Structure 1
């Protein structure tokens, strides 16, 4: 059975909402969807100042975990 499909924007919004519940992340972390043969995953991007802020590594790790979880439940539209 196929998984429900969400747009990249919907998946990113879901990740940001989940992040707010679990961790206090610094502003300036970009999240994007990287598609691959097996599905998709989240990637992040940030400038050097954001990367230097407290909590940045923990936020990136949490984004990866959220992506793993969402990837089991949703496919990407389009």
Structure 2
């Protein structure tokens, strides 16, 4: 998968396996479709408003929210 401009530091799969979320040292969160084939993976959503590199990402069980944590106690929640 191509898209992040720095190392990927966190990944999370949606509970139903339909997408993958990645966080990076470039301060972005990306939501990927077709992630099982890296060559054709599609970045469906991108958030660039993180001010720091990310260490952990999480997807809620109902797939409505994604959390990105650059480090405790800071976290940011996105509604996709």
TM-score (norm 2): 0.27
Relative to its length, the structure with more helix (as a share) is 1
Larger radius of gyration: 1
